[in-house]
Amino acid sequence: MINARKFRRKIALAIWRTQRHAADERGAAIIETALSLMVFLSFLFGIMEAGFALYTYNDLCEASREGARYAIVRGATWGTACASYTSSDCTASPTQIQSYVQSIGFTGITVSTPVYTAFANGSTCPATGPCNSWGNQVAITVTYNFPMTIPFIPTQTLALSSTSAMIIAQ
């Protein structure tokens, strides 16, 4: 009987200590949930922002390709394609190329001046004026500053850039 009494007393003491210890941790679950939710939401919104950045980069690539295509179609002043047009109508100036790329509808982009270079086919650039004749290369660079906004993390700006180069074929 003595052992049973001691045993019940030890059990009662253990229950009392557990209840007292549990009372001290009241509200800890709320703090743990809040901290876990902060980390989870930052991770979730970070993935979403990375997706938006990738989408924006795809738009930049498309804008630079469109600008390069516009430049190569209107770059050369040779052949029968320009026989009925004046020289100024047949050749696109760097300003016209920049305004065309900005008018496509990709807001906030910056278009650098097109760069004409002689390509490896042996063509040469004229001493005066751009190298916009058949067989030469034109490169268009488009840039955009993407604002990365992730909750609980300071806003940062990601500089995105895309360059497309094409050869003037006609």
Q: What is the pLDDT of residue 51?
A: 94
Q: Does 5 fall in a domain?
A: no
- Joined together, the tokens standing for residue 126 give 């004229």
Largest CA-CA distance found in the chain, in angstroms, rounded: 119
Tokens 């990601």 correspond to 158
pLDDT for 34-48, tens place per residue? 899 989 988 999 999
Q: What is the pLDDT of residue 88?
A: 46
- H or E element in which residue 38 lies: helix 28-73
Q: Does 62 fall in a domain?
A: yes
Q: Does 95 fall in a domain?
A: yes
Q: What is the pLDDT of residue 84?
A: 42
Number of domains, the chain? 1
pLDDT at 9 > cutoff 90? no
Q: Does 34 fall in a domain?
A: yes
Q: What is the pLDDT of residue 86?
A: 44
CB-count burial class (<10 Å; 0-12, 13-18, 19+) for 36: exposed
Handedness of CA 140, 53, 100, 72 (dihedral sign): positive
Q: Is the pTM of this model over 0.75?
A: no
Answer whether 146's CB lies under 8 Å from 157's CB.
yes
Least confident residue range of 20-24, 76-80, 116-120: 76-80
| DSSP conformation letters of 71-106 | HHHSS---SGGGTTS-HHHHS--HHHHHHHHHHSS-
Q: Does 103 fall in a domain?
A: yes
pLDDT for 113-129, tens place per residue? 888 777 665 556 665 55
pLDDT at 8 > cutoff 50? yes
- Domain extent, residue 129, equals 29-167
Least confident residue range of 40-49, 58-67, 73-82, 144-153: 73-82
Q: What is the share, in percent, of the chain residues with pLDDT greater than 90?
A: 22
pLDDT at 148 > cutoff 60? yes
Mean pLDDT over the full length of the chain: 78
Q: Does 10 fall in a domain?
A: no
Q: Given pLDDT bands bounded at 50, 70 and 90, which one contains residue 75?
A: low
pLDDT at 21 > cutoff 70? no
Tell me the three state secondary structure of residue 159. Answer: strand
Residue with more model confidence, 95 or 19 = 95
Rounded CA separation 159/170 (Å): 34
Q: What is the pLDDT of residue 78?
A: 42
Answer whether 114's CB lies under 8 Å from 72's CB.
no
Q: Does 4 fall in a domain?
A: no
Q: Does 112 fall in a domain?
A: yes
